[in-house]
């Protein structure tokens, strides 16, 4: 890091190491709305409603990198057969609570109807980032030792950071519905949601590491980072 040069930590090598890397990435999104809906206009083919209420939403993500290596031969002070297991984990959580306002337009065409809905949420977002890491070194006939910190998550950036900030969440939906049987409708649409200021795992990673496991901590890198950016959640919705 001090010379602004890059290096690599070997995980597997035909003549030296037998190893593997596994990466787990997960995301969970939940939302609950309590709305009052008021009809503003209606005729034989059209209806327009306004909505106001409360919204609670949560966006949680986790990125975990596990790697394991066994030295086939001795290297320097490392004895052949030594096993190195380590992991880095970056977890984030966004918890939103606030007010929501919006409107919905419905237009009927015989058995078909079109829905257009726009919503805007205003409130507080509690963003939380948690960084953890661990390294375990197992030496044949000498036991094992476990240290805090992996490769990207080390003692210089491990920990939890929380911040509260005002956030806007605009939302848009367009879709269609059709009557397929008595009392049964099928619907298909597209939904788009924009979180203006959310925390995610990838933005918390500092690749400027000062040492490779299990070397002792040196310098101030990687540094603890708390970066937020906009997040887009969108996709198709279908139902009966």
Contact 186, 208 (CB under 8 A): no
Burial (Cβ within 10 Å: 0-12, 13-18, ≥19) of residue 54: middle
Q: What's the Cα-to-Cα distance from 93 to each of 49, 66, 208, rounded to whole Å?
A: 33, 21, 24
Q: What is the mean pLDDT of each run of 10 residues along the chain (240 residues)?
A: 82 93 96 96 94 97 97 85 95 97 94 94 96 94 90 93 94 94 93 94 91 78 90 94
Q: Could you tell me which residues come within 8 angstroms of residue 143 by beta carbon, excluding any fewer than 6 positions away? A: none
Question: Closest Cα to residue 136, out of 91, 82, 81?
Answer: 82
Q: What is the pTM of this model?
A: 0.86
- How many angstroms separate the CA atoms of 60 and 125, rounded? 13
Token digits of residue 182: 């008595």
Residue that has been written with the tokens 């990435």 in this structure: 25
pLDDT of residue 6: 84
pLDDT of residue 91: 97
- Pinpoint the alpha helices (H) of 120-233: none
């Amino acid at each position: 890091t001090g010379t602004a040069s890059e290096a690599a930590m070997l995980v597997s090598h035909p003549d030296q190491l037998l190893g593997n890397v596994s990466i787990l990435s997960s995301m969970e999104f939940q939302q609950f709305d309590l709305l009052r809906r008021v009809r503003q206009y209606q005729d034989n083919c059209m209806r327009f409603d306004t909505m106001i209420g409360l919204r609670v939403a949560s966006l949680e993500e986790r990125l975990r990198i596990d790697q394991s290596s066994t030295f086939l031969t001795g290297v320097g002070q490392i004895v052949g057969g030594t096993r190195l297991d380590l992991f880095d984990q970056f977890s984030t959580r966004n918890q939103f609570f606030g007010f929501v306002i919006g409107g919905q337009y419905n237009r009927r065409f015989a058995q078909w109807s079109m829905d257009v809905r726009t919503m805007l949420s205003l409130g507080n977002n509690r963003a939380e980032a948690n960084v953890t890491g661990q390294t375990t070194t197992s030496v044949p006939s000498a036991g094992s030792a476990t240290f805090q910190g992996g490769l990207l998550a080390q003692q210089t950036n491990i920990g939890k950071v929380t911040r509260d900030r005002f956030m806007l969440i605009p939302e848009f939906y367009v879709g269609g519905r059709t009557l397929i049987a008595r009392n049964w409708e099928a619907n298909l649409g597209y939904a788009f949601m924009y979180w203006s200021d959310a925390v995610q795992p990838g933005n918390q990673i500092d690749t400027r590491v000062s040492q490779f496991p299990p070397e002792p901590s040196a310098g101030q890198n990687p540094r603890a980072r708390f970066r937020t950016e906009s997040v887009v959640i969108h996709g198709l919705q279908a139902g009966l």
